[in-house]
Amino acid sequence: MNSSGAVARQKVLAPAKTGKRSPLGQLLHALNQPLTGLQCSMEVALAVPRTVEEYAQGLRQGLELTERMRRLVGAIREITDNEDEEVEGEGAGAAGTQECDLVLRSAVGDFAPVAESRGVRIGLDLSSSLPAVKLGKPQLAGSLFRVLDSIVALAREATLLRIASGSKDDWVWVRIEWQGDGTGGETSPAELGLLVAQARLERAGAAWEREWFADFERLTLRLPRWPRP
């Protein structure tokens, strides 16, 4: 997969640089739609007498909207509950990431059986001797696992998920490319999982860039490296 011939390209960058909504802001904005829909559904049900089947249909629609709100609120709660843990990653925890390539390989290795069970292959092109980054090892490994879990859920079956890494200037970058199956809505567990991971990484100082091309998607993470000695 590469950028040649790609069309309809979009970018989502770190909110501090682009003015885009933060992950939490996106979740709160998305919550408004099902909430409004539920209110309208209840108002319609009370407006005029309905048949039993019409009331049942209204209840089914209300349950669907409630389930969407439940997933969104769960993601919001996960982001807010983990705020203190995410901030702590910039201090003493950085010592655990002196060999960032090993953290990446470990996360990918732990996730490989899950990907295989879902019919997704993983191709690695990881640079060795990556510099240390300003994230604690548990935080980085957990966030990478969450990203991989969400992307594999969004990927087309029997496709190849490409992962590469390297470093440039003050950043260590990780790039993931995959072919989506087109079924993941904005409130799907996989998309919400990406937003939670994005919030955790951005709060620790990382930059998040997601791009959509004609036949594949790309996520680039830029992790702040530990200052050179």
For residue range 187-201, list pLDDT tens digits in order.
899 999 999 999 999
- Residue 124: strand, helix, or coil: strand
Strand positions, DSSP E, the chain: 10-12, 121-125, 160-168, 171-178, 207-212, 217-224
- Residue 77: strand, helix, or coil: helix
Query: Looking at 66-75, 121-130, 173-182, which range is the least confident one?
Result: 121-130
Please give the Cα distance from 97 to 136 (Å, whole number).
Answer: 6
- pLDDT above 50 (res 179): yes
Sequence letter at residue 30? A
Sequence letter at residue 125? D
Please give the Cα distance from 135 to 88 (Å, whole number).
Answer: 9
Two tokens at 140? 């980085």
Task: Evaluate if pTM is beyond 0.75.
Answer: yes
CA dihedral 14, 180, 78, 174 (to 10 degrees): -50
Q: How confident is the model at residue 1 (pLDDT cuts 50, 70, 90)?
A: low
User: What per-residue confidence (pLDDT) applies to 73?
Assistant: 95
Please give the Cα distance from 204 to 117 (Å, whole number).
Answer: 32
User: What per-residue confidence (pLDDT) applies to 136?
Assistant: 76
Q: What would the pLDDT profile of 6-40 be if each residue is shown by its tens digit? A: 444 444 433 333 347 899 999 999 999 999 999 99
User: What per-residue confidence (pLDDT) applies to 178?
Assistant: 95
- pLDDT above 90 (res 176): yes
User: What per-residue confidence (pLDDT) applies to 91?
Assistant: 44
In terms of Cα–Cα distance, which of 134, 124, 126, 125 is closest to 102?
126
- Residue 100: strand, helix, or coil: helix
Q: What is the mean pLDDT of residues 167-196?
A: 89
User: What per-residue confidence (pLDDT) applies to 90?
Assistant: 45
In terms of Cα–Cα distance, which of 171, 170, 190, 166 is closest to 180?
190
Q: What would the pLDDT profile of 140-161 be if each residue is shown by its tens digit? A: 888 888 999 999 999 998 889 9
Q: What would the pLDDT profile of 64-115 be if each residue is shown by its tens digit? A: 999 999 999 999 999 988 765 555 544 444 444 456 777 888 888 888 888 8
